[in-house]
Amino acid sequence: MNNLRTLFFLAILSLYHLNANSQSSNDISSIALFPQQNEIRNTINLSGIWRFKKDSLEVGEKENWQNGLTNYRSIAVPGSWNEQFTDSRDYLGMVWYEKETYAPSTWRGQRIFIRVGSATYAAKVWINGQLVGKHEGGNLPFAFEIGSYLKWDSSNRISIQVENLLKPTRVPTGEVKGGPFTNFPKSNYDFFPYAGLHRDVWLYSLPSIASIKDITVKTGFTNTTGNVEVKIEAEGKASKGTVILFGNGKRFEVPFSLTNNQATVNVSIPEVRLWSPEDPHLYTLDVSISDAKTTLDHYSLETGVRTISKNNKQVLLNGKPIFLKGFGKHEDFPIIGRGSSNPVMIKDFALMKWTGANSFRTSHYPYDEEFMRMADREGFLIIDEIPAVGLYFHGDTTELAQRQVICKQYLNELITRDKNHPSVIMWCIANEPFPKDLSVSGGGGDRSASPKSIELFKELFALVKAKDNTRLATLVGVMGGPKEWVGLGDVMCVNRYYGWYTHTGELAAATKLLHLELDGLHKAYNKPIIITEFGADTYPGMHTEQSEMFTEEFQVEFLKAYLDFADQKDYIAGMHVWAFSDFKTGQGIIRFGGVNYKGVFTRDRKPKTAAYYLRSRWNK
């Protein structure tokens, strides 16, 4: 009976959730194609200085703040409000953003949308005082069609209400009773719960007669001939179109006809140039649709021809083993918080290449789309992760059902957004979910997984495979967590800190435990393993003549011990150091100054000794 009630609630909740996020045609396909300026489409980037006002009593909507803010102050978008003001670091309640802009008269007769790159955590959007839609979940974009709400002869007011209240029903979780973290603010994870409009806000237009709604690219090759499968989804009154693929001195053109606004085109590429970290070659794909007389819309994107697979010990890129060297990292920088910053992005890629890294994980949420495009160009391999950090499966079944719904939404949005990036090789459905009464004192996998948790994770893996069967899927396991969870993935990813949180300072004992645990894990499931986190807090500039915890010398010894261990195991397919750089956390007794110091670079990107060590080792 309890199971039936839970299933019924899940069904009702799913319908409610879809309805709550469907206002003004906010279907997930609206975020599939990034806004693009060309001779048909138009864009305006609204980032810059906005008006801002706190609404701690949550009276703004009742008092009609959507009709104009008073007593406001200025704020930069993108950026976290927690870093920009002297009185708002720990404030996570409701706020309002406001911007005024004109709609260009040349856009008349077109379909016009607003696209918010990321609003953490929940947002509502008004145009000229009229509610056009709402969205739950940070770190991924959402869009609403707004043409009917615009004025053409005067300025238009855009109002966005945002709040990031920590709740156990949300993903990531917060305010969890009995959770593993004792920090303030009470997030159930070990990074700061930054809030705000963290990415660009766009106005963009599409042609009204017909437009390209989505493009899905799948690639492969046989011997030296590449294959690019292009699935086109359109809307409107187009009847045909053309796919043009060019690059490496070659050009291929394939016409197609639309049936029920859909078409699938295959392009063969003789002497194909495969995408890889050593040669991240990108082909340009241009799709156009038309009626009998004229081109109605077109869209261009870059794609790399490559395959990703695995055997029982290795990850295979283009059919050949590749070892993932790199980092877990955060979108985190002083003053901007989690806000997007192109200079910081460029610097991060330069430093990762300087160390010899070839990969990273988007811990613990999807990154800015420009970060993904940069990875395509620079040849980095990405484990792309939804914000499902801090999940747990005991307690209130209603809350558990709500979390499952939002996890599915995240996966749908993430794969819709990132499915065409050659850099993305793996989808990650969760980081460090934990069982009841988690203990990290012994070996990993010493807690049994509840049947319900296995069922829910299988649902998420099935969703990933249904949406994208060309990439691998994984789950990152916590130290001491059930081995059954990580065994569900194509690749088994684990975070391990033996020698730091357990067997403190004893690196010989730590590596002995790694041998025992991971040998057993591989024997049980016969799949490759990636250690997706390992590291030691290191205060910059702290040195001793004999290595000791928190010194730069100990960090080097810690990383060396783990990397030496991995060299002995042919089933280890990758090693991601935690972390790329120091990052902001909540306040807690294990986080001096509210910072996690496990970075090999400081928060402002200065190298510690460990960065030089990795450079010497990974560039051999």
Active site residues: 432, 533
Let me know the angle formed at the C-alpha of 191 by 188 and 194, rounded to the nearest 5 degrees: 100
Number of neighbouring beta carbons within 10 Å of residue 319: 11
| Single-letter amino acid, residue 176 | V
Supply φ then ψ for residue 104, to 5 degrees.
-60, 140
The dihedral of CA 66, 71, 77, 83: what is its sign?
A: negative
The label of the residue with tokens 């934990």 reads: 434
Phi, psi of 459 (to 5 degrees): -60, -45
CA gap 485, 252 in Å, rounded: 45
d(CA 45, CA 477): 39
Count of H-run helices and E-run strands, the chain: 10, 32
Element (H, E) at 84: helix 81-84
Residue 32, classed as helix, strand or coil, is: coil
What are the strands of the beta sheet with 262-269, ordered from one edge? 210-222, 225-236, 262-269
With both helix axes pointing from N to C terminus, report the angle between 552-567 and 507-525 in degrees, rounded to the nearest 10.
Answer: 30
Quick one: which H or E segment has residue 253? Answer: strand 250-257
Q: Side by side, which strands form the sheet with 308-310?
A: 308-310, 315-317, 320-322
Q: Is 219 helix (H, G, I), strand (E, B) or coil?
A: strand
